[in-house]
Chain A
Amino acid sequence: MARRDYSLTGPEAARAVERGLAAAEWYHSDVPRKEMKALMKREDQLAIRDTIILFGCMILFAGIGIALWPSWWSAPFWLAYGVLYGSAMDSRWHECGHGTAFRTDWMNNAVYQVASFCMIRNPVTWRWSHARHHTDTIVVGRDPEISVMRPPDFLRLVANFFGLFDTWNSLGRMLLNASGRLAPDEATYIPESEQPKVIRIARIWVAIYAATILLALVTWSILPLMVIGLPRLYGAWHHVMTGLLQHGGLAEDVTDHRLNCRTVYMNPVSRFIYWNMNYHVEHHMFPMIPYHRLPELHERIKDDLPEPSPSIPAAYAEMIPVLVRQLRYEDFFLRRDLPPTARPYREDLHDEVPGIPAAMPAE
């Protein structure tokens, strides 16, 4: 079987459109409008509380790290700061990009800008790329945010626990945008009217990084980069650890989020860092629900969903053998059983995908 082309400008992009997978109707569990309205309700307090804790801890940990620098005693504080910078900012970018974290929209936008900078994700580009991820979740040739492609590139996946490929790629795009240009795939999903904003922000960021590097050179110390920039590498592991579980080893080219998203029960610290995105089927099915109501939504619809993974290690134990098998059988994926209370999977389009059996069980 020929390798699939995951680019947004290749033949798979046209095929997805031809097969009706682009901007298709997706399956939704039944939740009456009255309940859904209660779940969608926005408020500021919880996100303000979480944001004060987050930024307070970042200032505290970085402050202690600077005070103890260059002693090795500073290392645990940098590791803690790094996770908040290089991983918690991923979920803040995500929730505030949806505009669901806070009721007051300027708060969403302010946190979104800071988080985008920390993650080196252009806030304009990534708003559009994430919209496409929701329209065409894990549809090959359409979704720009597929992190585990087939066959899996394990070297790349492991390197990204330290942000290596992602950061390299992000810096390259930032410099390209700052030079006044967009990458060809970006031009496919960013409306022309928004493209000047991409370039303006990239130029501001280049100026901030240049000033940080200059300060490091003047002081002849990497300390400024420990605060800005490097945490995107040494603190990335948590967001990659949780992010790979979102869709890894599951189906491609389907229109039912129960087939291509994974919900994982997680410990409270990871849930704070990840802002409850471990309820990933629920988030994709109903992106209007704020992070703090996702546990309730989960309780409400779990009878219609596959059993969640009970923990992060259990989810990896489920996913890794599937990825290993995909090295030899690219069309292999995990199709989890539904409880008897659930409505059947929506597989009308899925059945038509050449080379992808609808019901191949995991070994």
Chain B
Amino acid sequence: MSDWIDACATDDIDEEDLIRFDHGGRTFAIYRSPEDEFFCTDGLCTHEQVHLEDGLVMEHTIECPKHNGRFDYRTGEALRAPVCVNLATYEVKVEAGRVLIRI
């Protein structure tokens, strides 16, 4: 059973944006949606392994900064070529102003 990891404070992420979070040799992206919900995916795009941290969050999509591939960050679904492979997603919960992820 994997543990909950304290990733960041809720205020560390602007609304409709993301930040990078590195842990245990892995890298993740943590998102704050326009509805103020938090989500977590793998940090690297499934197309060419570029980090999504410099990408653009629009509503519920993240656009990769390299070739503009898009994913739904809530489900990890690949939405726009050149990405074809879905992103892994992870459970998230918010407690006392902290964002926790289960990896």
A134-B66, A135-B48, A288-B65 given as contacts; is B84 within 8 A of A99 (CB)? Answer: no
Interface residues of A in 119-156 (CB under 8 A from B): 124, 127-128, 131, 134-135
A37-B17, A127-B82 given as contacts; is B68 within 8 A of A98 (CB)? Answer: yes
A37-B17, A105-B80, A193-B84 given as contacts; is B56 within 8 A of A135 (CB)? Answer: no
Give chain B residues whose Cβ lies under 8 Å from the Cβ of A288.
Answer: 55-56, 63, 65, 68
Q: How many residues of A contact B (CB 8 A)?
A: 23
Chain B, interface size: which category? 10 to 19
Residue from A23, A33, A36, A124 within 8 A of B48 (CB atoms) = A23
**A99 in contact with B80 (CB, 8 Å):** yes
A37-B17, A135-B67 given as contacts; is B84 within 8 A of A194 (CB)? Answer: yes
B residues neighboring A (CB under 8 Å): 17, 47-49, 54-56, 58, 63, 65-68, 70, 80-82, 84
**Besides the contacts A36-B54, A286-B65, what 7 more A-B pairs have beta carbons closer than 8 Å?**
A23-B48, A42-B58, A98-B67, A100-B68, A131-B67, A193-B84, A288-B65
Main secondary structure of the interface of B (DSSP, over half): loop
Give chain A residues whose Cβ lies under 8 Å from the Cβ of B48.
Answer: 23, 135
CB distance from B83 to the nearest CB of A (A): 10
A residues neighboring B (CB under 8 Å): 23, 33, 36-37, 40, 42, 98-100, 103, 105, 124, 127-128, 131, 134-135, 191, 193-194, 286-288
**A37 in contact with B56 (CB, 8 Å):** yes
In Å, the complex CA distance between A69 and B67 comes to: 44
Give chain A residues whose Cβ lies under 8 Å from the Cβ of B66.
Answer: 134-135, 287
CB distance from A304 to the nearest CB of B (A): 17
CB distance from A103 to the nearest CB of B (A): 7
CB distance from B8 to the nearest CB of A (A): 15
**B82 in contact with A99 (CB, 8 Å):** no
In Å, the complex CA distance between A98 and B65 comes to: 11
A99-B80, A127-B81, A194-B84 given as contacts; is B56 within 8 A of A40 (CB)? Answer: yes
CB distance from B36 to the nearest CB of A (A): 18
In Å, the complex CA distance between A281 and B80 comes to: 25
Give chain B residues whose Cβ lies under 8 Å from the Cβ of A134.
Answer: 66-67
Nearest opposing residue in chain A for B58, CB measure: A42
Give chain B residues whose Cβ lies under 8 Å from the Cβ of A287.
Answer: 65-68
Give chain A residues whose Cβ lies under 8 Å from the Cβ of B47.
Answer: 131
Nearest opposing residue in chain A for B61, CB measure: A105
A127-B82, A288-B55 given as contacts; is B63 within 8 A of A99 (CB)? Answer: yes
**A131 in contact with B82 (CB, 8 Å):** yes
Nearest opposing residue in chain B for A26, CB measure: B66
In Å, the complex CA distance between A286 and B54 comes to: 10
Give chain A residues whose Cβ lies under 8 Å from the Cβ of B81.
Answer: 124, 127-128, 194
Nearest opposing residue in chain A for B47, CB measure: A131
Nearest opposing residue in chain B for A42, CB measure: B58
Give chain A residues whose Cβ lies under 8 Å from the Cβ of B49.
Answer: 23
In Å, the complex CA distance between A193 and B65 comes to: 23
Give chain A residues whose Cβ lies under 8 Å from the Cβ of B56.
Answer: 37, 40, 42, 288
**B70 in contact with A99 (CB, 8 Å):** yes
**A191 in contact with B58 (CB, 8 Å):** no
In Å, the complex CA distance between A103 and B65 comes to: 16
Nearest opposing residue in chain B for A289, CB measure: B56
